């Protein structure tokens, strides 16, 4: 009877462990948006990914790319003359007037803080002469300078076009890159700004509810909202605490509430679950009898309960969080030391062999001569 009881206890323990393992692998944040990613702003580690490579419409998150492109390709103190085309742009505006002269930085502020579509067109025309040329140039810039792989923009503001698309992962990459620029970072984190134009005197207030504190979450450092019917609600948010800096992107949320709820889940997950660690330059990793090392000290993002580290056969260090590779780092291979034989020693060794060979011949000849001499002496 006792054996039967023991058997059932063991069986229950095994089943219990199997259920726990399955639950751990299937952890989810309950994100409702079509696509969402959470990325470490400093290391680029992907901490959460739902459909991050799916092509979707970004709406006004496009303006993040327009802003950093304009900052890098223009002079923020330039004075821009507003065109008729810019004034007629539909959607959210800062109510520019044709012929109005506005500093480039002020236009970027109006575009990011108040999502001014007219300001975006004025910026594009100033930098590249036309919206069409701007589109060609910014696509090359995003691919070559920032490294996006699945983004194509046709305008500077995100108004719907069939061929105007990006992905959540590309937008996170663009935002991370842009945040490293102090001018962009300052504007991206601005909550309110006085605006004085020819037709509009007001105080611009960010549309991002987390940034202006309507939804209380600590550590928010910047944000941009977006909406057109085809894209639904989109949201970009940056945040930081003492452990990590985060970039959260959500695309195609059915409502504004869903986009904010998803963003809060992502940020709270990032703050509670991850921290930084430095892999030192002198650390060594061995795989298949080859030794690898980082070229410099490397900052990595790991789970607070530790992450896995794998080395591929090609010397790629993979940081694995929750069963997914979040960061890949190319290591240097340590070449084995080759034993060098000095040329002088090699020559002296060869010379010794030759000397011995000739010595034997000389010795043999001497012996032969002595033998011949003895025979001659005997005959005498």
3 state DSSP class of 79:
strand
How far is the C-alpha of 151 from the C-alpha of 168, rounded, in Å? 10
| Residue-by-residue DSSP string for 127-150 | HHSSHHHHHHHHHHHIIIII--SS
3 state DSSP class of 125:
helix
Residue 284 contacts by C-beta under 8 Å, 6 or more apart in sequence?
A: 291, 292, 293, 334
Within 10 Å of residue 21's Cβ, how many Cβ atoms? 10
* Nearest one of 116, 120, 117 to 138, comparing CA atoms: 120
Catalytic residue status for 41: no
Q: Are 351 and 331 in contact (CB under 8 A)?
A: no
- The active-site residue out of 33, 41, 50, 60 is 60
For the chain, state the CA radius of gyration: 35
- The active-site residue out of 33, 41, 50, 63 is 63
How far is the C-alpha of 153 from the C-alpha of 155, rounded, in Å? 6
Structure tokens at 318: 């993979």
Scanning 209-342, the segments in alpha helix (DSSP H) are 256-273
What is the per-residue burial (b if ≥16 Cβ within 10 Å, else e) of 294-326? beeebebbbbeeebeeebeeebebbbebeeeeb
DSSP state of 115: -
Catalytic residue status for 115: yes
Let me know if 103 is exposed, middle or buried by CB neighbors in 10 A (0-12, 13-18, 19+).
middle
* Nearest one of 227, 267, 194 to 48, comparing CA atoms: 267
Catalytic residue status for 196: no
- The active-site residue out of 83, 115, 259, 326 is 115
Catalytic residues: 60, 63, 115
């Amino acid at each position: 009877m006792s054996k039967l009881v023991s058997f059932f206890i063991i069986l229950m323990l095994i089943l219990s462990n199997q259920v726990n393992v399955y639950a751990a692998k299937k952890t989810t944040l309950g994100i409702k948006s079509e696509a969402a990613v959470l990325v470490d702003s400093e290391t680029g580690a992907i901490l959460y990914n739902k459909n991050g490579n799916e092509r979707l419409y970004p709406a006004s998150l496009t303006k993040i790319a327009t802003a950093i492109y304009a900052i890098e390709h223009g002079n923020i103190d330039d004075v821009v003359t507003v065109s008729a085309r810019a004034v007629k742009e539909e959607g959210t505006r800062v109510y520019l007037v044709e012929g109005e002269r506005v500093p480039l930085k002020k236009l970027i502020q109006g575009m990011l803080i108040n999502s001014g579509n007219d300001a975006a067109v004025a910026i594009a025309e100033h930098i590249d002469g036309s919206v069409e040329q701007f589109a060609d140039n910014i696509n090359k810039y995003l691919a070559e300078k920032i490294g996006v792989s699945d983004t194509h923009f046709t305008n500077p503001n995100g108004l719907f076009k069939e061929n105007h698309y990006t992905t959540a992962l590309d937008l996170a990459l663009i935002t991370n890159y842009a945040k490293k620029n102090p001018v962009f970072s300052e504007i991206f984190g601005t909550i309110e700004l006085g605006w004085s134009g020819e037709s509009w005197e007001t105080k611009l207030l960010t549309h991002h509810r987390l940034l202006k504190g309507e939804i209380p979450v600590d550590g928010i450092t910047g944000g941009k909202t977006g909406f057109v019917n085809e894209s639904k609600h989109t949201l970009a948010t940056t945040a930081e605490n003492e452990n990590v800096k985060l970039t959260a992107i959500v695309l195609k949320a059915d409502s504004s509430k869903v986009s904010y709820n998803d963003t809060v889940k992502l940020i709270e997950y990032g703050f509670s679950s991850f921290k930084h660690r430095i892999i030192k330059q002198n650390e060594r990793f061995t795989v298949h009898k080859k030794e690898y090392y980082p070229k410099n000290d490397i900052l990595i993002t790991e789970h607070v309960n530790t992450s896995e580290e794998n080395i591929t056969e090609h010397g790629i260090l993979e940081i694995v969080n929750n069963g997914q590779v979040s960061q890949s780092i190319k290591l240097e291979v340590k070449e084995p030391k080759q034993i060098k034989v000095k040329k002088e020693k090699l020559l002296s060794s060869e010379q010794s062999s030759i000397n011995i060979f000739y010595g034997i011949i000389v010795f043999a000849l001497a012996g032969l001569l002595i033998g011949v001499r003895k025979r001659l002496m005997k005959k005498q």
